[in-house]
């Protein structure tokens, strides 16, 4: 949480004394990256659907998290509206997100507001992160913080990180690490607070941290201390969410939704593309054989043999068997037919469609089908083949 | 090969577009690619201690927490005239540099009026909305300096905004300077801001100047403001650009599907009578095909030869998009010895495989292990020599192809579908713009525009144009005139050519697959040349093996004979073969040649095509098809155009084509090979000298006036053209005869966003060929005008903009407009009007052939022939 601070000029004069560079402890990767990585790992491990970052600042953490396929709602809250407004653009979907849509929908929203205010739109989350936030709260806000985040929002999991002041003596002439910090806690202070809060709101808490102390000073603990709070009794009940009164105090500054396979339009786009690619590949491999002997379709698909040995997909034995046992492509006159069942045998397409009917309805608008709808039809010979 | 003959796609513009799309600072190795998505190091330059106060050092340990820089994420380029939106706030200059160049001031003859009067007056509508009100008083510009320096534009804005109360919501910031409607109390103020990680940045805001509300600099700020307002409109945002909706067309061709989106491009500029908002519709292409898919397809199709060579041929030079960081790269090579299981060194020195790297960094799963890696040399910059930097390695499966596929480009139906959707009719375009106009009224956009008192006319700008008479064309003994569509093919059917060249000694090369086609071509040629007045002796017909060398090997045996023409029938349109033959016949063994692809002769309309081929051959040998009445004497017309191949990092080629007789039927052509990407031409005086020498061989007296049409220059080059090219020529002319020559230099621009619609009752149509516009949307500082010279069968016609930047001839507006339109009737590959004056298009054809196929100067003996048609 990085509030504006206009009077910090004086602090600079006081704090930026001659600091001999070589004595400064450097973390590799930088500490902020380690904190983000920590959250990222946690997300990968627990696969939350709805994640909010309180005090999201320049939204770096959100940008890191948005690539996680499990997340469907990503929210950032900060008190600095300008920053949110400016960073919003960088969260909008890019060209690539349209080229390869996600499996699940993703909505990203940035709210302008204070973490000690209640907003019902943040109810029912799986994970709320407060990275280097609490030390920026004054005593009044800090007192209200647990009540709002733990008591009201009550997500399944909360991650709170804050500086460990026991580490500070290792830094030259530092009292507080930041001019806006209202306090920095020892491990004991943080853990006492955390255990009290956990106990009060029925959470269990586990302590860890990032930023290993240097050799010889192991007793000071991590540079950043982290508490992971888990709600006892698991996930927030969806039903209690709906019972709550709508309370919208935050101002939505930016919102964007990502294309995904859950949206019919993108599902069809991807499916049609995959089907036509597969059909084309089968057609081409059928072609030279057809030219040579003008006979029946040979059993072995050509695509695996013809391409050079160092290229192409490798199917597992199960996949291979599945493909070979599926109905084969065939020709009638100059028309080339690929049964949908055959297409479904390919892993890439199987992942998209569970059954023939889904595939049929997905491609019917764009790709010609046989009269009974059981196969894709293509012209066997394409005029541009004549060039070869 | 009529298709090729009519091509107007310029290599340069298309490729440049793509190049510009590349994000700045393309990373060297994949690990730095990650920095695009993650917070980058806060950048500041250590400076010596000055009176400003203590040097700010990053504090530890939080010192490493930087505010992420947003390196602009950009879209991949579009090909074939589908342009991306080009509202880029950070690119200063360009057209704004040209706006301050007052070229009209020095031309006394157009001091009072540059408006012509010839022709029939018509009522037109332009795709501009007049700005009916805007901030009327001067605005105040302040330079904004950061200490220590801050590079990221976003961060600069954030830091500045911390003081928004001191300068108010109503402001425009372009990253370097701040525009305010009212002055600040002090001329110079210092503010202190803190970054995300509590670093102190001093912001020095110093008064720079007052800007008149219509000054180009002020307009530049208005464009930034409008772009900000655009963001608020209800459009779909992808990265930095805004699109309305997908248009209902998915092209599917041989396993690749494409989707097309529609968007807008806008600009606010000052014209003759005030400021207008120019708005046009444009399109974006979505191609869902990874490089891996693409390689698979080539592998499957490659039946003979080495598939790896085939892959390299088709892939090298293409622009690919990486999904994970939205960057574009040019493929410079394919490394088959590597695969995703290989490792590379991360910045911290540890080794990691590509698979693990992409999984950890970008959540991208590489499923295919048997794929090569792509090699890219990174972003290429003008003036940069040789690739010294570490190449970037990319995974085919994670890279997407951009642009149209060759299959689609060659496929008539697909291209036609594409054209129907993207080439909007005047009617549709008009409606679409109306829609945009409505959305500007949305509250969110108005919130930004209102403080500056911006109001737009709700109707499109209406203005007058004049339709000039089509030129008189003389062919054989007939005088004809183009019809309303600017065509006269029907009128001259079966009419003998103006000056036919007898075809006495010619070769016809074909390979064994093409024997039948060779016979058909020969027969048709006999048949069609007779009415044209061309006498023809039988050809030497020679069968060749078909590969590139087989054609040139045969030709070696004929080097001593007086051959007039070589016709090669090619089994397909393989570029290597074509280039090889053309190169040989333009340099080593200079003879006009005609290549015909077998398929062309197989078409139903083959006979019509052969007629065109015969005419083309006649021109290549020095004949002329028709002439146009220009009513000027002793005037040489020159066309100059450039070809840039930045993608393949080839040398740039400037084409120079000059008329060398009074009838404009003989032309002198030369090309200048220049540094890659160089737009200005250096050796113009030598070209001019050679052209004048040839003129003297054809005519009894030297020309008195020289009119240059200069095409192929980008925005922002006006002053440079004046200082370099126009000056080179005028200086040279003075050295040969101080008082005898007069020179006019006209800049031709085809890529403009302005469109005109002809109002017919309640419908909108394209203006007719010959429509001239020299009011309202021209500029007060320029002697400029628009001409719609071509007819289009579909879509909206693009007018061509002409800007007379230098004129000692004293051309009246009527004369220069009429001459310009006349010259559009002179392109021998088409019995109709074209988009630019013929010499420009000849220069384009020459530069294109040399740049694409020959790569060196053609033999001098060809310079008096239109061998490149």
The per-residue pLDDT for B134 is: 78
- Judged against a pLDDT cut of 80, whether residue B55 lies above it is answered with no
Active site residues of B: 641, 679, 711, 844
User: How far is B544 from B546, CA to CA, in rounded Å?
Assistant: 6
User: How far is A16 from B41, CA to CA, in rounded Å?
Assistant: 20
| Closest chain B CA to residue A312 | B370
Instruction: Give residue B815's pLDDT band: very low, low, confident or very high (50, 70, 90).
Output: very high
Average of per-residue pLDDT across A213-236: 85
Instruction: Give residue B297's pLDDT band: very low, low, confident or very high (50, 70, 90).
Output: confident
Least confident range from A30-39, A84-93, B536-545: namely: A84-93
Interface test with B, best of A13, A60, A259 (most B CBs within 10 A): A60
Interface test with A, best of B23, B36, B41, B65 (most A CBs within 10 A): B65
Interface test with A, best of B198, B283, B398 (most A CBs within 10 A): B198
User: How far is B475 from B508, CA to CA, in rounded Å?
Assistant: 28
User: Which of chain A's residues have a Cβ under 8 Å away from the Cβ of B56?
Assistant: 12, 16
Average of per-residue pLDDT across B744-766: 92
Do B299 and A311 count as a contact with CB atoms less than 8 A apart?
Answer: yes
- Judged against a pLDDT cut of 70, whether residue B551 lies above it is answered with yes
User: Which of chain A's residues have a Cβ under 8 Å away from the Cβ of B288?
Assistant: 99-100, 269-270, 273
The per-residue pLDDT for A132 is: 92
The per-residue pLDDT for A73 is: 95
User: Which of chain A's residues have a Cβ under 8 Å away from the Cβ of B252?
Assistant: 272, 276, 366-367
pLDDT tens sequence across B64-115: 333 333 333 333 333 333 333 332 333 445 677 788 788 898 899 998 999 9
Burial B800-809 (b: 16+ CB within 10 A, else e): bbbbbbbbbb
CATH tag, A31-258: 3.40.50.150
Question: A196 and chain B: CB distance < 8 Å anywhere?
Answer: no
- To the nearest whole Å, the CA of A311 is away from the closest chain B CA by 5
Do B252 and A272 count as a contact with CB atoms less than 8 A apart?
Answer: yes
| Closest chain B CA to residue A278 | B255
- Judged against a pLDDT cut of 90, whether residue A126 lies above it is answered with yes
Question: B359 and chain A: CB distance < 8 Å anywhere?
Answer: no
Residues 6+ apart with CB under 8 A from A249: A113, A117, A118, A119
- Judged against a pLDDT cut of 80, whether residue B247 lies above it is answered with no
The per-residue pLDDT for B67 is: 30
Interface of A with B in 330-349 (CB under 8 A): none
Q: Which residue bears the tokens 């709550």?
A: A244
Share of chain A above pLDDT 90, in %: 38
- Judged against a pLDDT cut of 70, whether residue A294 lies above it is answered with no
Do B238 and A95 count as a contact with CB atoms less than 8 A apart?
Answer: yes
Q: Does residue B123 or residue A87 have the better pLDDT?
A: B123
- The beta strands (E) that lie in B623-755 are given as 627-628, 635-643, 652-659, 667-674, 705-710, 742-749
The per-residue pLDDT for A96 is: 82
Collapsing DSSP to helix, strand or coil, B732 comes out as helix
Do A98 and B161 count as a contact with CB atoms less than 8 A apart?
Answer: no
- Judged against a pLDDT cut of 70, whether residue A325 lies above it is answered with yes
| Distance of alpha carbon A152 from the chain centroid | 25
Q: What is the arrangement of strands in the sheet containing A375-379, beginning at the earlier edge strand?
A: A330-332, A335-339, A375-379
User: How far is A272 from A268, CA to CA, in rounded Å?
Assistant: 6
The per-residue pLDDT for A289 is: 52
The per-residue pLDDT for B6 is: 33
Instruction: Give residue B41's pLDDT band: very low, low, confident or very high (50, 70, 90).
Output: very low
User: Which of chain B's residues have a Cβ under 8 Å away from the Cβ of A388?
Assistant: 301, 303
pLDDT tens sequence across B383-392: 445 445 678 8
Q: Does residue B649 or residue A296 have the better pLDDT?
A: B649
User: How far is B577 from B105, CA to CA, in rounded Å?
Assistant: 53
Helix axes A264-293 and A356-363, enclosed angle (nearest 10) = 90
| Distance of alpha carbon B213 from the chain centroid | 31
Average of per-residue pLDDT across B288-315: 81
- Judged against a pLDDT cut of 90, whether residue B742 lies above it is answered with yes
Q: Does residue B56 or residue A263 have the better pLDDT?
A: A263
Contact B139/B221 with Cβ under 8 angstroms?
A: yes
Collapsing DSSP to helix, strand or coil, B374 comes out as strand
Looking at every residue in chain A, the average pLDDT score rounds to: 81
pLDDT tens sequence across B425-459: 999 899 888 888 888 888 778 888 888 888 889 89
Interface of B with A in 214-273 (CB under 8 A): 231, 237-240, 246, 250, 252, 254-257, 259
The per-residue pLDDT for B245 is: 60
Do A314 and B369 count as a contact with CB atoms less than 8 A apart?
Answer: yes
The per-residue pLDDT for B267 is: 85
- Judged against a pLDDT cut of 80, whether residue B539 lies above it is answered with yes
Question: A96 and chain B: CB distance < 8 Å anywhere?
Answer: yes
Average of per-residue pLDDT across B754-774: 93
- Judged against a pLDDT cut of 50, whether residue B782 lies above it is answered with yes
The per-residue pLDDT for B262 is: 80
Share of chain B above pLDDT 90, in %: 38
Do A19 and B57 count as a contact with CB atoms less than 8 A apart?
Answer: yes
Q: Alpha helix locations (H) across B93-139?
A: 95-99
The per-residue pLDDT for A11 is: 34
Do B257 and A276 count as a contact with CB atoms less than 8 A apart?
Answer: yes
Question: A10 and chain B: CB distance < 8 Å anywhere?
Answer: no
- To the nearest whole Å, the CA of B679 is away from the closest chain A CA by 31
CA distances from A142 to A133, A135, A150, B156 (A): 10, 8, 12, 32
Share of chain B above pLDDT 70, in %: 84
- To the nearest whole Å, the CA of A2 is away from the closest chain B CA by 6
Contact B539/B597 with Cβ under 8 angstroms?
A: no
| Closest chain B CA to residue A1 | B196
Instruction: Give residue A177's pLDDT band: very low, low, confident or very high (50, 70, 90).
Output: confident
Of B67, B254, B256, the CB nearest to A382: B254
Question: B675 and chain A: CB distance < 8 Å anywhere?
Answer: no
Average of per-residue pLDDT across B574-583: 90
Of A86, A100, A178, the CB nearest to B158: A86
Collapsing DSSP to helix, strand or coil, B568 comes out as strand
- Judged against a pLDDT cut of 90, whether residue B49 lies above it is answered with no
Question: B462 and chain A: CB distance < 8 Å anywhere?
Answer: no
The per-residue pLDDT for B787 is: 96
Instruction: Give residue A236's pLDDT band: very low, low, confident or very high (50, 70, 90).
Output: low
Interface test with B, best of A6, A74, A98, A302 (most B CBs within 10 A): A98
- Judged against a pLDDT cut of 80, whether residue A55 lies above it is answered with yes
User: How far is B456 from B444, CA to CA, in rounded Å?
Assistant: 16
- Judged against a pLDDT cut of 50, whether residue A386 lies above it is answered with no
- To the nearest whole Å, the CA of B296 is away from the closest chain A CA by 7
The class level of CATH for A264-289+316-379 reads mainly alpha
The per-residue pLDDT for B250 is: 66
The per-residue pLDDT for B304 is: 59
pLDDT tens sequence across B673-700: 988 778 888 889 999 999 999 999 999 9
Examine the predicted complex and report whether its ipTM is higher than 0.90.
no
CB atoms within 10 A of CB A26: 11
Tell me the DSSP string of B19-68. HHHSPSS--SSHHHHGGGTSPPPPP-------TT-SPP---TTGGG-PPP
Do B370 and A33 count as a contact with CB atoms less than 8 A apart?
Answer: no
Of A8, A60, A278, the CB nearest to B39: A60
The per-residue pLDDT for B241 is: 58
Instruction: Give residue B727's pLDDT band: very low, low, confident or very high (50, 70, 90).
Output: very high
Instruction: Give residue A303's pLDDT band: very low, low, confident or very high (50, 70, 90).
Output: very low
CB atoms within 10 A of CB B490: 9
Q: Does residue A27 or residue B749 have the better pLDDT?
A: B749
The per-residue pLDDT for B52 is: 33
Residues 6+ apart with CB under 8 A from B165: none
Do A95 and B157 count as a contact with CB atoms less than 8 A apart?
Answer: no
Average of per-residue pLDDT across B515-537: 91
- To the nearest whole Å, the CA of A96 is away from the closest chain B CA by 4
Do B326 and A95 count as a contact with CB atoms less than 8 A apart?
Answer: yes
- To the nearest whole Å, the CA of B145 is away from the closest chain A CA by 18
Q: Does residue A284 or residue B109 have the better pLDDT?
A: B109
Least confident range from B5-19, B451-465, B732-746: namely: B5-19
Question: A16 and chain B: CB distance < 8 Å anywhere?
Answer: yes
Question: B383 and chain A: CB distance < 8 Å anywhere?
Answer: no
The per-residue pLDDT for A276 is: 86
Interface of B with A in 101-130 (CB under 8 A): none
| Closest chain A CA to residue B358 | A67
- Judged against a pLDDT cut of 80, whether residue B12 lies above it is answered with no
Least confident range from A170-179, B311-320, B696-705: namely: A170-179
Domain(s) of CATH 1.10.10: residues in chain A: 264-289+316-379
Of A86, A96, A100, the CB nearest to B154: A86
Of B70, B240, B572, the CB nearest to A387: B572
CA distances from B94 to A133, B91, B266 (A): 45, 8, 15
Q: Are strands A127-131 and A50-54 parallel, antiparallel or unpaired?
A: parallel
Of A171, A272, A284, the CB nearest to B60: A171
pLDDT tens sequence across B644-661: 876 666 788 999 999 999
CB atoms within 10 A of CB B687: 26
Of B70, B289, B321, the CB nearest to A95: B321
Domain(s) of CATH 3.40.50.150: residues in chain A: 31-258
Interface test with A, best of B300, B346, B448, B576 (most A CBs within 10 A): B300
Looking at every residue in chain B, the average pLDDT score rounds to: 81
Least confident range from A317-331, B151-165, B340-354, B763-777: namely: B151-165
User: Which of chain A's residues have a Cβ under 8 Å away from the Cβ of B61?
Assistant: 24-27, 31, 171, 177, 211, 223
């Amino acid at each position: 949480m990085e509030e504006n601070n206009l009077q910090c000029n004086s602090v600079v004069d006081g704090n930026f004394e001659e600091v001999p560079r070589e004595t400064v402890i450097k973390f590799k990767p930088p500490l902020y990256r380690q904190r983000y990585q920590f959250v990222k790992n946690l997300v990968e491990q627990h696969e939350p659907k709805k994640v909010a970052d309180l005090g999201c600042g320049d939204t770096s953490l959100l940008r890191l998290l948005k690539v996680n396929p499990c997340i469907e709602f990503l929210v950032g809250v900060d008190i600095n509206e300008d920053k949110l407004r400016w960073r919003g653009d960088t969260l909008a979907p890019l060209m690539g997100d349209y080229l390869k849509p996600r499996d699940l929908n993703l909505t990203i929203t940035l709210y302008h507001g204070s973490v000690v205010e209640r907003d019902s739109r943040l109810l029912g989350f799986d994970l709320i992160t407060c990275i280097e936030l609490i030390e920026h709260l004054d005593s009044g806000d800090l007192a209200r913080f647990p009540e709002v985040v733990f008591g009201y929002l009550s997500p399944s999991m909360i991650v709170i990180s804050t500086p460990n002041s026991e580490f500070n003596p290792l830094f030259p002439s530092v009292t507080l690490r930041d001019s806006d910090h209202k306090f920095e806690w020892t491990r004991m202070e943080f853990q006492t607070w955390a255990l009290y809060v956990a106990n009060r709101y029925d959470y269990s808490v586990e302590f860890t941290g990032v930023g290993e102390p240097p050799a010889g000073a192991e007793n000071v603990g991590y540079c950043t201390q982290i508490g992971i709070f888990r709600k006892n009794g698991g996930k927030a009940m969806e039903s209690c969410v709906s019972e709550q009164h709508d309370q919208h105090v935050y101002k939505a500054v930016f919102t964007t939704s990502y294309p995904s396979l859950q949206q019919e339009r993108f599902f069809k786009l991807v499916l049609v593309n995959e089907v036509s690619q597969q059909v084309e590949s089968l057609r081409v491999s059928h072609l030279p054989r057809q030219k040579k002997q003008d006979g029946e379709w040979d059993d072995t698909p050509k695509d695996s043999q013809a391409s050079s040995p160092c290229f192409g997909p490798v199917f597992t034995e199960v996949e291979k068997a599945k493909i070979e046992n599926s109905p084969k492509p065939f020709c009638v006159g100059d028309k080339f037919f690929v049964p949908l069942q055959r297409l479904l045998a390919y892993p890439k397409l199987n992942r998209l469609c569970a059954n023939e009917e889904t595939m049929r309805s997905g491609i019917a608008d764009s790709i010609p089908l046989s009269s009974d709808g059981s196969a894709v039809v293509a012209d066997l010979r394409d005029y541009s083949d004549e060039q070869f | 090969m009529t298709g090729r003959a009519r091509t107007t796609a310029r290599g340069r513009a298309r490729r440049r577009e793509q190049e510009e799309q590349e994000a700045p600072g393309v990373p060297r190795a994949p690990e730095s690619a990650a920095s695009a998505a993650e917070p980058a190091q806060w950048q500041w330059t250590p400076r010596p201690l000055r009176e400003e106060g203590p040097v700010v050092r990053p504090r530890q340990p939080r010192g490493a927490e930087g505010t992420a820089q947003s390196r602009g994420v950009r879209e991949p380029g579009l090909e074939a005239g589908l342009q991306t939106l080009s509202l880029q706030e950070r690119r200063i200059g360009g057209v704004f540099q040209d706006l301050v160049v007052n070229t009209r001031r020095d031309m006394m003859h157009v001091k009072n009026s540059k408006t012509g009067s010839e022709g029939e007056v018509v009522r037109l509508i332009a795709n501009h909305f007049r700005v009916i009100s805007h901030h009327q008083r001067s605005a105040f510009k302040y330079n904004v300096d950061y200490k220590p320096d801050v590079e990221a534009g976003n961060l600069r804005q954030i830091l500045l905004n911390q003081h928004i109360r001191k300068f108010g919501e109503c402001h425009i910031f372009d990253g370097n300077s701040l525009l305010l409607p009212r002055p600040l109390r002090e001329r110079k103020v210092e503010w202190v801001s803190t970054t995300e990680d509590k670093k102190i940045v001093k912001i020095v805001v110093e008064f720079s100047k007052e800007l008149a509300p219509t000054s180009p600099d002020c307009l530049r700020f208005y464009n930034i403001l409008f772009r900000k307002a655009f963001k608020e409109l209800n459009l779909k945002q992808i990265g930095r650009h805004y699109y309305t909706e997908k248009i209902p067309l998915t092209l599917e061709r041989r396993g690749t599907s494409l989707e097309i989106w529609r968007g807008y491009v806008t600009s606010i500029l000052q014209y003759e009578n005030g400021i207008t908002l120019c708005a046009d519709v444009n399109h974006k292409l979505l191609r869902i095909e990874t490089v891996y898919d693409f390689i698979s397809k080539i592998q499957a199709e490659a039946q003979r030869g080495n598939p790896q060579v085939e892959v390299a041929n088709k892939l090298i030079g293409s622009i690919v998009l990486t999904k994970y960081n939205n960057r574009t790269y040019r493929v410079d090579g394919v490394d088959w010895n590597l695969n995703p299981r290989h490792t590379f060194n991360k910045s911290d020195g540890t080794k990691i495989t590509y698979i693990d790297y992409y999984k950890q960094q970008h959540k991208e799963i590489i499923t295919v292990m048997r794929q090569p890696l792509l090699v890219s040399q990174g972003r290429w910059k003008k003036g940069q020599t040789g690739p010294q930097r570490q190449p970037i390695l990319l995974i085919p499966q994670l890279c997407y192809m951009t642009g149209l596929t060759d299959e689609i480009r060659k496929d008539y139906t697909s291209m036609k579908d594409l054209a129907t959707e993207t080439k909007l009719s005047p009617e549709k375009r008009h409606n679409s713009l109306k829609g945009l106009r409505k959305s500007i009224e949305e509250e969110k956009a108005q919130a930004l525009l209102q403080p500056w008192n911006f109001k737009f006319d709700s109707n499109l700008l209406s203005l007058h144009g004049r339709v000039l008479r089509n030129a008189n064309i003389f062919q054989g003994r007939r005088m004809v005139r183009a019809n309303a569509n600017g065509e006269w093919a029907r009128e001259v059917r079966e009419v003998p050519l103006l000056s036919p060249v007898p075809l006495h000694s010619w070769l016809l090369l074909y390979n064994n697959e093409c024997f039948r086609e060779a016979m058909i071509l020969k027969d048709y040629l006999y048949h069609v040349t007779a009415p044209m007045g061309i006498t023809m002796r039988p050809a030497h017909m020679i069968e060749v093996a078909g590969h590139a060398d087989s054609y040139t090997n045969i030709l070696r045996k004929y080097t001593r004979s007086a051959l007039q023409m070589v016709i090669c029938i090619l089994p397909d349109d393989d570029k290597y073969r074509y280039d090889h033959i053309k190169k040989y016949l333009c340099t080593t063994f200079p003879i006009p040649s005609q290549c015909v692809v077998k398929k062309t002769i197989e078409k139903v309309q083959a006979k019509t095509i052969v007629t065109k081929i015969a005419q083309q051959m006649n021109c290549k040998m020095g004949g002329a098809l028709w002439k146009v009445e220009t009513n000027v004497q002793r005037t040489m017309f020159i066309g100059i155009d450039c070809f840039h191949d930045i993608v393949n990092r080839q040398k740039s080629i400037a084409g120079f084509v000059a008329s060398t007789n009074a009838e404009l039927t003989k032309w002198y052509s030369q090309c200048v090979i220049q540094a890659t990407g160089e737009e200005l031409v250096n050796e113009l005086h030598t070209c001019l000298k050679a052209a004048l020498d040839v003129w003297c061989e054809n005519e009894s007296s030297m020309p008195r006036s020289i009119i240059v049409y200069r095409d192929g220059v980008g925005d922002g080059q006006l002053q440079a053209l004046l200082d370099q090219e126009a000056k080179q020529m005028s200086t040279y002319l003075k050295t040969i005869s101080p008082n005898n020559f007069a020179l006019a230099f006209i800049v031709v621009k085809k890529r403009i966003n302005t469109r005109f619609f002809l109002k017919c009752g309640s419908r909108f149509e394209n203006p007719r060929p010959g429509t001239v516009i020299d009011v309202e949307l021209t500029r007060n500082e320029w002697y400029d005008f628009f001409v719609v010279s071509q007819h289009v069968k579909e879509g909206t016609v693009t007018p061509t903009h002409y800007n007379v930047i230098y004129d000692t001839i004293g051309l009246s507006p009527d004369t220069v407009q009429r001459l310009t339109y006349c010259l559009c009737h002179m392109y021998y590959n088409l019995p109709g009007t074209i988009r630019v004056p013929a010499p420009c298009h000849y220069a384009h054809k020459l530069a294109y052939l040399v740049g694409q196929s020959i790569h060196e100067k053609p033999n001098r003996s060809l310079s008096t022939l239109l061998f490149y048609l």
